[in-house]
Structure 1
Amino acid sequence: MSSPDPLVAHHDRVRVLTEPEWCARERAHAERMRRWTGPYLRRRARGEKHPVHDFLFQYYSYRPSQLERWHPGPGVVLAGEAARRFLERPEYHEVPGGVALDLAAFDGKRAETARRLLTLLTATAARAPRLNCFGLHEWAMVYRQDADQVRHNQVPLRLGPAGTDAVVESLPLRCGHYDAFRFFTPPARPLNEPQPTRATRPELEQPGCLHANMDLYKAAFRLSPFVPAELVADCFELAVAIRELDMRASPYDLRPLGYAPIPVETPSGRAEYARQQAEFARRAAPLRHELVARCHDLPTLGG
């Protein structure tokens, strides 16, 4: 009798998927993600830019082909001869009854990345959402900047350069997300309270922040393939929806692309932004908790 497989021994319940079952999930995942990867790849081939959706593929380092690739996650055995093609991937191995993820591959750099993610995710989940930044990070990224240096200079500023600068100067900047703050223009940085750094992320990250909730996608793909591809897809689609709100509240005029502005320079616009921000915090919470649970289930992180 063969010795117990580490993956099987680690999980109380191991699910065996028949070949038709896992093939159907694999196809469904690829089709779901091609809704987004297909248009991006076609735009890229034509040399076209999309100021909203390209961010999901250019800022985040997960390639379209990786996003389309299905993984079952730990605790799943893929049955059938076709499952042997998963053995071409370094994280998989043969087990009794089929092919599964090899949890022994989750070590070293992967484990250290997951520890940092777990610290950040847990700290963020423990805080109440803060809803008073009003999306002004995008405004601070173009504050007092020459037109040819604006990030999306193919799109006009809705209020023009002077009007954009006036909004930044009339409202408090309260961005606590380091990866947004680091793109502020030099004149905007001293206006922000607080002054986030990479080291202070666990102290400042909070669940009302749009970028913290978009970054659930980054956490999910950095844990891949040791989380199910469907969880990565859920986080990606949340990030798409958040990115649309992010840019609707930005200083850019995206009406020709079908995005109605949320005018955060007005009280009603700020109220609408905060309402949607709270809704995204609500939607992000179960995904953040699922990522935390998945981290705890990994063998070197307490599973």
Structure 2
Amino acid sequence: MEVLERATWRACANAHASRVDAFVAPHLARRESGVKHPVHDFLFTYYSQRPAQLRRWHPGYGVRLLDAPEYDGLKGYDDGAVTASYVVAQRPLLESVHRLLAATAARPANFGCFGLHEWAMVHRLADDETRHADWPLRLGGAGTDAVVESHRIACSHFDAYRFFTPTARPLNTLAPTAADRPDFEQPACLHAGMDLYKHAFRLTPMVSSDLVADCFELARDIRVLDMRASPYDLVDLGFEPLAIETAAGKAAYAEAQRGFADRGAPLRARLVAECERLLAVTPVDHARKGSSAGR
């Protein structure tokens, strides 16, 4: 077990907090002022990890923090380290995440969805019924509906598909469910890329917060593309629309999607490797490593 002195781990913790504060601090300021942001608030409102949890640094399993009363009583910790018994207790979660991410990585990437999931979420809704009703639809209601109805929709991500309107659901060529995610998710999907952040923080505190922050930054950047390609007009927020209803827009979307797929692949591989490392932990590891550290 690696052992870190207080000065060392405090420097790591401070660096991590500073890194994520570039995004956390503006969100907290908006929340205090009652201002909503349809792009940047998503990672804090859709996902369950709170800003304070994101700011807290964890070294991951296999590291003991000396002189660390701040970690007393935290989930999974004992004497400044995540315990083997906690890791073993998380085996169902580890197996589930590993199965999904390994299956996603093994599936061919599909660059032909063009972000139509966001359009299907507002299909045939009144302006005041959309998820971001404070922002107008770029093509208006009828124009937006026409885009949905004139394109082939093939959304493979259940957590996007479940928000389709009742009229848009039958238009999807796939029917993913919560139970069969490993059979559908593919590595070019923007939401699968953003969800790497979710998988990483669900594995907290067993994995390093550096990995969580890497996944968070990827999700933050993907969300910008997701909403630029959406039917909403967000020019006043500084986001130039990506007109996926045109040939040029489709090409630009697919190119950006390839870039995010390339960025997500090593992060997905790191998460898979972490799951495999943690699944190899046994209850006796904690006692053995604690004894070795004491010598």
SS state at 2:3 partner = strand
Mean CA deviation greater in 36-45 or 172-181: 36-45
Q: What is the TM-score with the length of structure 1 in the denominator?
A: 0.90
Question: Could you tell me which residue of structure 2 aligns to residue 106 of structure 1?
Answer: 87
The yes-or-no answer on 1:43 pairing with 2:30 is yes
1:139-183 CA-partner distances (Å, limit 9, x unpaired): 000010111111000001111111111111111111011000000
The whole-number CA distance in structure 1 between the counterparts of 2:15 and 2:280 is: 31
Percent of pairs identical after alignment?
55
Question: Are the counterparts in 2 of residues 111 and 300 from structure 1 also a CA contact under 8 Å?
Answer: no
1:266 partner letter? T
Moved over 6 A (4+): none
1:53 deviates by 1.1
Mean CA deviation greater in 14-23 or 57-66: 14-23
1:195 to 165, 171, 175: 175
CA RMSD, Structure 1 to Structure 2 (Å): 1.4
The whole-number CA distance in structure 2 between the counterparts of 1:20 and 1:239 is: 31
1:301–1:247 CA distance, 2 compared to 1 (3 A): farther
The whole-number CA distance in structure 2 between the counterparts of 1:284 and 1:248 is: 19
1:87 deviates by 2.1
Aligned pairs (5 A) from 1:85-164: 85-94=70-79, 99-108=80-89, 110-164=90-144
1:88 deviates by 2.9
Aligned pairs (5 A) from 1:211-230: 211-230=191-210
2:232 to 252, 255, 260: 252
SS state at 1:298 partner = helix
Higher relative contact order (CA 8 A, sep 6+): 2
1:223 partner letter? L
Question: Could you tell me which residue of structure 2 aligns to residue 24 of structure 1?
Answer: 11
The whole-number CA distance in structure 1 between the counterparts of 2:191 and 2:157 is: 7
1:181-206 CA-partner distances (Å, limit 9, x unpaired): 00000010111111111122101100
* Uncovered stretches (5+) of structure 1, i.e. residues with no partner: 1-13
1:301 deviates by 6.9
2:273 partner letter? A
2:238 partner letter? G
1:233 partner letter? A
The whole-number CA distance in structure 1 between the counterparts of 2:31 and 2:221 is: 21
1:270–1:299 CA distance, 2 compared to 1 (3 A): closer
